[in-house]
Each structure stands twice: as structure tokens, then as C-alpha cells.
Chains A and B, each alone.
Chain A
Amino acid sequence: MKMMGLLLIMTGLTAACSSETEQSGTDVYDPEARLSEMGIELDPPTPPTANYRRVVRSGNLLFLAGHGPDIPGGDGAQVHGTLGTDELTIEEGQQAARYTGISLLNTLKAELGDLNRVERVVKAKGMVKAHPDFTQHSQVINGFSDLMVEVFGDRGKHAREAVGMTSLPGNIPVEIEMVVEIRD
């Protein structure tokens, strides 16, 4: 009888252990390690210059303000121009979207301390400054979406909007805002 009890406890323990391994199986993707591998360094963001915040938390959701394409290591310099004109190619637009993704990661890192606290990138709105005849907004915003999946794996796969704007602050070609689910 005692043996049976012990056996039951053992079985229970094994089950608990294996489910824990499964759990950590989904967590092996370490965004901090990925960023180092990719050679991306995150800098603390400068505070906003007006009465808004770069990020606001509600429950376990973070709502991030629209960010722009800050050139990494560029001392606050940004990409400028309009898609669908001579000013920027699709590739340059994609790079701007990627830079914007890095700006958003800067803000996330400052808020969370550790990007492993990101449970899921839920939603992104990608706004492209474009000529009225421009049609390749999705390709431009892929620069951001690809970065999120490179950094977070499946947890980086988000719902998104890609749209065209007539003008954006400071003539930036891309502005992106996002919603992120986090864990404590």
C-alpha cells in the first residue's frame, strides 16, 4: 500500500516535471540573447518632449506610442522622405520600418528591464508616408514584422495594419505603434 502511494507520488512528480519542461520549451527563445547575436544594441529612449508617454500599461497589456525610424547610433537622427517618390526606395522604407522596430524595442526594454517578459506582440499599426499612388505598404512594414519574429520567434507574430499617410511628424517615412502582452 505504501509502495503504491509512493509510486503515485512519483508518477505525479514526473508528470509535473515533464509539463514544466514543455513550458520552458516554449520559452527557450531568449530575445535578449537573440539581440546580441544580431548585433543590435538597445539604447534608453529619450523622454517625450510633450504631454504624452512612450508607453502606458493597463493590466498585462502595454500600449506603445507611435515611434519613428531613429537611426541606431545616430544620436537622435531619423530617416526622412516619402515612399513612392524618388526620395526613398522600398528597401530604404523597409529599413526605416526595422529602425522603428528597434526604437519600439528600446522603449520596451526601458519599461520591462528584460525582454523575456514579453508574452506576445499582439498588434501593430504601421503607417507609411507615401505618394497617393503607392501600393506596397505591406512590403515596407515587413521590415518591422520580420524584426519582431527574428527577436521573439512565434511570440513576435502580431496582428497588424499597414496604411498610407499624407504626412508624418518631422517628415519621417514610417510611424509604428503597438500593443504588447507581458508577464510579471
Chain B
Amino acid sequence: MMNQMSRTLQILALLLLTFSVNELMAQSQDVYEKLDELGIELVEPGEPTANFVYAVQTGNLVFMSGHGPNRPDGTQITGKLGEGGISLEEGQEAARLTGIALLASLQKEIGDLNRIKRIIKVEGMVNAHPDFTQHSQVINGYSDLMVEIFGESGAHARAAVGMSSLPGNIAVEIAMIVELKE
């Protein structure tokens, strides 16, 4: 009898814990407050200039097109990483700007970034000389931003690779798959 009671209590305690964790998750910070804190402004993207779109939703997944490092003034960071090219820091900044461009497109697609449940998968492509080896450090510029903004939900699986060339000689191109809340 006592045993049964303590077991019931244990289950109750567990349930309570689960609920409070859920509550905490639900109360996690508003994405837009976080963006404000970081001084990030999302500029609504124009329409693509060819027969493709920036994002396609299927079920609760959103597949994002490869985006590039758009500066707020409308120009892009161009150049290759490695020998005689742009610096590692510039590459990281490019990856961060690409992350912001992706979020701007995503917001246009889904209306509210608080709907994001998880950043699932990322392809980080670095415009690099054949001898370049620090692709991971470059793409960290993007990955750090996602975790700064979304916390644990922003932590993703990723590939970081070197490309011999990219459209318009942009330094970085990144594509991602995002899961939305039900």
C-alpha cells in the first residue's frame, strides 16, 4: 500500500516536472526581442529573378534556397577564402549575414519566426581556394547566430564544404531545412 502510494507520488512529481519544463520552453524568449537585442533588422527580400522561390513548405518542413551574404546596403560580401583572398573574419561575417538573409526570407514565408520549432539541417558552402581548410570556422558565423537567436532549437546538423566558385563570386552560400511547430 505504502509502495503504491510512493509510486503514485513519484509519477505525479514526474508529471509536474514535465509540465514545468514545457512551460519554461513555451516561455522562451520571443525571437523578435532577441533580434532587437542583437541589433539585427530583417530586410524583406525582393522576388527572385528567375523560376525559383526562396522557400517551399511541405508538411511542417520548410526547405530554404541557398542564400548569400547580403549587407544592409544591398551589396554582398564577395571573394574567396584562403590564399590571397578575404580573411577568416570576413568569411565569418559573410556566414552571419547569410543567416540573417535566410531569416528574412523565412519570415516572409511563414509570417512569424516564433513558429520555428527547430533548425534541422544546414549546408554551408564556402567559396574557397583548393588549399583552404577552415570551412568549419567560417560557417560558425552562421551557426553561432542561430544558437544566439533560437537557443537549443537553433542547434542544427550541418555540412561545411568548399566550393571552387559561387554565383556572383559571393563568399558563402547557405541553405537550410527548418521544422515548424504544429
Contacts and interface: CB of A to CB of B under 8 A. Distances in A.
A166 B164 contact: yes
Interface stretch (A7-15, A17-25, A46-54, A154-162): A154-162
B53 A132 contact: no
Contacts of A158: 52-53, 56
Interface residues of B, number: 26
Nearest to A83: B165
B120 interface: no
Contacts of B163: 163-165
Interface stretch (A26-34, A36-44, A108-116, A134-142): A134-142
B166 interface: yes
Interface string A47-76: 000000000000111000000000000000
A137 B165 contact: yes
A122 B164 CA distance: 26
Interface in A125-139: 125, 128, 130-138
26 contacts: A60-B59, A119-B58, A120-B56, A131-B165, A132-B80, A132-B165, A133-B165, A135-B165, A135-B166, A135-B169, A137-B165, A138-B50, A142-B50, A145-B51, A146-B51, A158-B56, A159-B54, A159-B64, A160-B52, A160-B65, A160-B66, A161-B125, A163-B125, A163-B166, A164-B164, A166-B130
The 4 closest A-B pairs by CB, nearest first: A164-B165, A161-B66, A123-B63, A159-B65
Interface of B: 50-56, 58-59, 63-66, 80, 123, 125, 130, 163-169, 173, 175
